[in-house]
Structure 1
Amino acid sequence: MMKIICGVDVSKARLDACIMPGAVSRSFDNDASGIAQLAAFCRQHAAELLVMEATGGLERKAFLLLWESGQPCAIANAARVRLFAEAMGVPEKTDRIDAAMIARFAQVQDLRPTPLPSRAQQRLKALVARLRQVTDDLVVQKQRRSALLEDAEMTASLDEVIALLKRQSRTLEGEIASMIDDDPLWAHLASTFRSVKGVADRTIAWLMADLPEIGIYDNKAIAKLAGLAPIADDSGKRKGKRPVRGGRAGVRSILFLVAAIAARYDQSLGAFRDRAIQQGKAKMVVRIALARKLLVRLNAKARDARAQFANAT
């Protein structure tokens, strides 16, 4: 029997919903009142699941409030939904059409609810996201400072901004460290990750915030989540290149940096990198393979650490 699913197209101001089967459509404001009305709309039509696309954060408020109201929700990949719509012969794109296609996509893919993160996980993710923003801003301001000609007024202005960003960075780092230290499981995982030379506090914070599944998923699944899993492209006798795409860019970027550092200290990682270079692998291919190998190692350590923690408690 086909599930009753509510597809929702999210924009800054509106939530356009469509119940499938039946194609019953309604539009709601993207605020607390409108989200409550959307939840009631789902209950009225006995929707088993509400599905929305990841839209750069615009969906977060609705996702959290709907779960709190008791409505199971799932997040779908927007690019995959668009490809599905075109494959189904629907090149048109409006908010109402998108909502219907999200619901149909969820039915075909048999999507499951996306678990609601704990409040601590939400807080950690927000802190890490802000730290990343402050770090990026600090890099930009330092570049402007180094490129500045002799101008005392402009130099003082930039120095003031740089000092402010440094203070914010230290404050955020302290809050993140406190959160991790105060959670027994997180503290145990952090200690385990630090056993790998090159893995420092920021890397741990990124992993905890953006890849909470580490140590829970198997190696192939965790590599795919990070966008480090090679995608087959073979046809007949042709063996195509195996590119990587998608996944969580923040995790992938930090793993690129950390893997290069870890390879300096870890003999097995260094040997793995050197063999790939000697085989004539492209520079980017080596970077990806090294980052994936580090992630697999961290995932195995996290799996063991979670098992130890569970047995101890």
Structure 2
Amino acid sequence: MEPSGAAGRFRNDAAGIAELAAWCQGHGVELAVMEASGGGERLAFLLLWELSLPCALVNARNVRRFAEAMGFLEKTDRIDAAMIVGYAQAKRVQATPPPSAAEQRLKALVARLGQVTGDLTIQKQRKSAAANAEIIASLDEVMALLVRQSRRLEGEIASLIDDDPLWACLDRAFRSLKGVASRSVARLMAELPEIGILSNKAIAKLAGLAPIANDSGKRSGRRPVRGGRAGPRSLLFLIARIVAKYDPHLAAFHQRLQAAGKEKMVIRIALARKLLVILNAKARDARSEFANAT
């Protein structure tokens, strides 16, 4: 494979993306494939869909490994573009449906709530180390602002979920498990919208909680977990410990693992995966119930 063929450079703004869409249409492009790069691709992804050009997102690390496997250790924009095309062809990549306006808003609100919560924690730590009354008063003022913003964001998120019949149904299903709070539900729906749609194995792999086979011949190697979405995984680690205090099935599962002498990290991963499977089943039932009702 050679990094040859038509190429162009376009600005990452509305005008540049419109030029890109016209250029793609002029070259008979049926699918635009781009790397997920932490948000830098978001504008192009959404605008190209609006301009009737289907798009797909691929993992940047996988594309780089594909390039190295094809013998391209060097990295330039032209080579990167060619490798994305080659990777998409080899994997038979399909279009990634764009999120709705409500989904985009939910994700943005949840992300902002996480930032505000993190900032509030930092201010509390600074206050605990402060001795000067003037500094403490300044920190209290900042903390009061963050608390107001946190409450407002929580209210906006709750209203957004309540206003969507499917989300409201999923919210009730998730919160039927004691220990699953409304904020956790919002994060799951924002960061793992595929829940209830994919199989248990697929959703576990997406969250980075599925053991990866490491066998060769007669050797059966240790099966680690890796990759996946860090946000949902860290959330599941946290709430699995809480739910295990109340849910008898998860508590019994926890006790069996401990009795078997499993390592703490192995138990932590297994609990999170078990909880995800339970939540996925509840989401699947809720989606089916909603579809039948409508």
TM-score (norm 2): 0.97
CA distance in 1, matches of 2:80, 2:87: 10
Q: Name the counterpart of 1:120.
A: 102
What secondary structure does 1:28 align onto?
coil
Moved over 6 A (4+): none
Unmatched 5+ stretches in structure 2: none
Q: What does 1:41-190 align with in structure 2 at a 5 Å threshold?
A: 41-148=23-130, 150-190=131-171
SS in 1 for 2:178: coil
Shift of 1:21: 9.1
Question: 1:223 is matched by which residue type in structure 2?
Answer: A
2:234 corresponding residue in structure 1: 253
Corresponding position of 1:312: 293
How far apart, CA to CA, are the structure 1 residues paired with 2:138 and 2:59? 42
1:276 and 2:257 matched: yes
Q: Against the structure 1 CA distance between its residues 86 and 109, is the aligned structure 2 distance closer, same or farther, given a 3 Å change threshold?
A: same
Give the count of matched residue pairs. Answer: 293
Per-residue deviation at 1:237? 2.1
- Residue 7 of structure 1: aligned partner: none
1:228 equivalent in alignment to 2:228? no
Helix, strand or coil at the partner of 2:223: coil
Q: How does 1:212-227 map to 2 (within 5 A)?
A: 212-227=193-208
1-side partners of 2:189 and 2:122: how far apart? Answer: 26
Residue 274 of structure 1 aligns to a residue in which SS? helix
Give the distance between the partners of 1:309 and 1:246, measured in 2 at CA: 32
After superposition, give the CA deviation of every residue in 1:109-137 in whole Å (9 maximum; x if it has no partner): 11000011111111101111111111111
Distance 1:22 1:233 in 2: 37
> What is the 5 A alignment of 1:28-43?
28-43=10-25
Question: Could you state the TM-score of these two structures normalised by the residue count of structure 1?
Answer: 0.91
Percent identity of paired positions between Structure 1 and Structure 2: 69
Aligned Cα root-mean-square deviation (Å): 1.2
Unaligned runs of 5+ in 1: 1-19
Point out the more displaced range, 150-159 or 261-270.
150-159
